[in-house]
């Protein structure tokens, strides 16, 4: 069952190894928040090659933590970069969940503001939900995640339909 022609997006062309598990088990982000979905095997290899990269669980719960550990363990030459690497974003972390819920509320408030007849009230509601989301993201260490990634996390983890 070695299929190297259709592999996850995290697989490096020079690395002939096959995928292990779902191809969207994790999302690996570089320091500029460019992301690639990957299986746990190639996600770990990709993460190990990145300075300032990080990993988020995708379709497999707990995958980010395993990939983060594997990346640190399998590439001794990259260990010096470990301190530059963001920790894995743990979806079981209450702070992360709280942050995603706050972001979802902000999205909902934004949508509601579009049909709010009183501009002053819409503005106040948006300012409040924006501040709440900002604070919750900061508490979870996710302040620098771009909106596209946040929307994706909220949609996949909380079932938000924009
Ligand atoms: Zn793979």
Query: What's the CA dihedral at 95, 33, 151, 148 to 10 degrees?
Result: 150
Quote the ligand 1 centre to 12 CA distance (angstroms). 9
Q: How far apart are CA 110 and CA 51, in angstroms?
A: 35
In the chain, helix, strand, coil percent, each to 5? 50, 10, 40
Do 83 and 104 form a contact (C-beta atoms < 8 A)?
Answer: no
Quote the ligand 1 centre to 67 CA distance (angstroms). 12
What pLDDT, in 10s, does the model give residues 9-57? Answer: 999 888 889 999 999 999 999 888 888 999 999 999 999 888 888 999 8
Quote the ligand 1 centre to 10 CA distance (angstroms). 6
pTM for the model stands at 0.57
What pLDDT, in 10s, does the model give residues 67-116? Answer: 998 888 755 444 444 444 455 677 778 888 899 999 999 989 998 998 88
Quote the ligand 1 centre to 40 CA distance (angstroms). 7
Quote the ligand 1 centre to 148 CA distance (angstroms). 23
């Amino acid at each position: 069952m070695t299929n190297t022609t259709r592999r996850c997006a995290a697989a490096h062309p020079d690395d002939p190894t096959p995928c292990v598990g779902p191809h969207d088990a994790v999302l690996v982000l570089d320091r500029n928040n460019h992301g690639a979905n990957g299986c746990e095997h190639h996600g770990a290899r990709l993460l190990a090659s990145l300075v300032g990269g990080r990993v988020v669980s995708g379709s497999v719960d707990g995958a980010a933590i395993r990939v983060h550990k594997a990346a640190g363990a399998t590439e001794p030459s990259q260990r010096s970069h470990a301190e530059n690497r963001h920790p894995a974003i743990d979806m079981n972390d209450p702070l992360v969940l709280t942050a995603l819920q706050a972001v979802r509320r902000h999205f909902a408030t934004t949508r509601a503001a579009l049909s709010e007849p009183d501009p002053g009230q819409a503005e106040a509601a948006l300012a409040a939900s924006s501040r709440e989301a900002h604070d919750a993201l900061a508490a979870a260490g996710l302040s620098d995640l771009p909106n596209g990634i946040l929307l994706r996390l909220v949609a996949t983890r909380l079932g938000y339909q924009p």
